[in-house]
Chains A and B, each alone.
Chain A
Amino acid sequence: MVAEEESNNQGRRTKYHGSIRGHNIVNRNRKEGELRLYNDYFDENPKFTESQFQRRFRMSRCLFLQIANAMEAHNPYFKQRTDVLGVLDLSCLQKVTAAHRILAYGIPTDLTDEYLRIEETTTIESLRAFVKAIVEVFGDWYLRAPNEADIYRLLSIREQRGFSRMLGSIDCMHWK
């Protein structure tokens, strides 16, 4: 009986879902992380000012919320869910902020555990979903080839700079 259960667990180990016997559970109190993040940056009267927000998130609060909402609408992964016990899962803002922190600060994925209360593997999962969703939702517009209106605008800027028909400058960068 026990041996049978063991072999079942072995089979399930490849999947990430479901409980695994003997799995070490750390109660990291996700709710606390969510509340702290919300009170710090997204509340009506946040602890940090708009300029501090802009410095840390590289963009205005308005734009960040717009991105977060788009992520939530695009991929159900970012929606806040409850588990079978009715415990709230991580919020959209937590997941998006964690992914953004990795991109903006280049921090190790483990570091988000301390402030945001998101574990390493979940952070990687969020980051994967986040970059994919960004490319899918915004890629068509923000990585477009210049259309007629763009070319007109680019050329009219150039007129003032002496290079009348220049479209831009080209170069390569190495990412080591």
Chain B
Amino acid sequence: MYIGHCREPTIILEAVASQDLWIWHAFFEMSGSLNDINVLDRSLIFAALAEGRTTPVNYTISGHEYTMGYYLADEIYPNWSTFVKTISRPLGAKRKYFASKQESARKDVERAFGVLQSRFAIVRGPVRYWNEEMLANIMKACIIMHNMIIEDERARHLGFDHEREVNSFISVSHGEIAKLHDFLQTHNRIKDRATSS
């Protein structure tokens, strides 16, 4: 049941990381038939965006108007407007520059995985014993402690707790969940191929 394209039983973890290696989103699935693409369809990362619960980010790039923030992804991800991918075999200085910049920024997530694995060896080693719920809790606990360490070290470097300081006087409001119609519309916009090319 858990044996997938890696020819071994695996658990797949999908994550979004930022430059400070903070892991923003983690989603994992047990079935081995999953790969990067179909795990994306099952994860909830873009559900919040489609429901309109996140902050709109407005920007314009070469004539196109975008209303959502984007994520850097590698080759295998689909051409959605929320993903910015590198150019394979770039031609010309401009494209080469873009590709090198994209690749150097995208590796944040790889660095985050590396640090997570070196901090918590259990994530690197073979999955042993315990049931699915326990494994999910172990994974979550490791990521939570990983983020706690990052926050702690950041506070240590700055001399104060930057994040708490900021959040203490900003109230976070999550609007109501949008109607199904709006949801579908936004969802189509996320998956829109035309805007990303």
Task: Report A-chain residues with C-beta under 8 Å of the C-beta of B55.
Answer: 148, 151
| Contacts A106-B122, A149-B166; A155 near B12 (Cβ below 8 A) | no
Does A166 contact B167, Cβ atoms closer than 8 Å?
no
Does B137 contact A106, Cβ atoms closer than 8 Å?
no
Give the residue name and chain of the B residue nearest to A109 (CB): B129
Interface segment, A8-16, A26-34, A82-90, A136-144?
A: A136-144
Asked if B99 CB lies within 8 Å of chain A CBs, one says no
Task: Report A-chain residues with C-beta under 8 Å of the C-beta of B15.
Answer: 170-173
Interface segment, B88-96, B113-121, B178-186, B188-196?
A: B113-121
Task: Report B-chain residues with C-beta under 8 Å of the C-beta of A60.
Answer: 152-153, 156
Does B141 contact A170, Cβ atoms closer than 8 Å?
no
Task: Report B-chain residues with C-beta under 8 Å of the C-beta of A168.
Answer: 16-18, 24, 71-72, 108-109
Interface string of A115-131 (1 = CB under 8 A from B): 00000000000011011
Interface string of B68-111 (1 = CB under 8 A from A): 01111110010000011000000000000000011001111110
Task: Report A-chain residues with C-beta under 8 Å of the C-beta of B77.
Answer: 170
Interface residues of A in 136-176 (CB under 8 A from B): 138-139, 142-143, 145-149, 151, 153-155, 157-158, 161-176
A145 is contacted by which of B10, B24, B105 (Cβ under 8 Å)? Answer: B24
A131 is contacted by which of B17, B119, B140 (Cβ under 8 Å)? Answer: B140
A175 is contacted by which of B10, B16, B71, B147 (Cβ under 8 Å)? Answer: B10
28 residue pairs bridging A and B, Cβ less than 8 Å apart: A58-B119, A63-B148, A67-B148, A102-B122, A103-B141, A104-B121, A105-B122, A106-B120, A131-B138, A135-B141, A147-B172, A151-B55, A151-B69, A157-B19, A162-B101, A165-B66, A166-B70, A168-B24, A169-B16, A169-B72, A169-B108, A170-B16, A170-B83, A171-B14, A171-B15, A171-B110, A176-B8, A176-B10
Q: Which residues of A contact B (CB under 8 A)?
A: 58-60, 62-63, 67, 102-106, 127-128, 130-132, 134-135, 138-139, 142-143, 145-149, 151, 153-155, 157-158, 161-176
- The 5 nearest A-B residue pairs measured at CB: A106-B121, A131-B141, A169-B72, A134-B141, A167-B69
Q: Which residues of B contact A (CB under 8 A)?
A: 6, 8-20, 24-26, 28, 35-36, 39, 45, 48, 54-55, 57, 59, 66, 69-74, 77, 83-84, 101-102, 105-110, 113, 119-127, 134, 137-145, 147-149, 151-153, 156, 163, 166-167, 170, 172
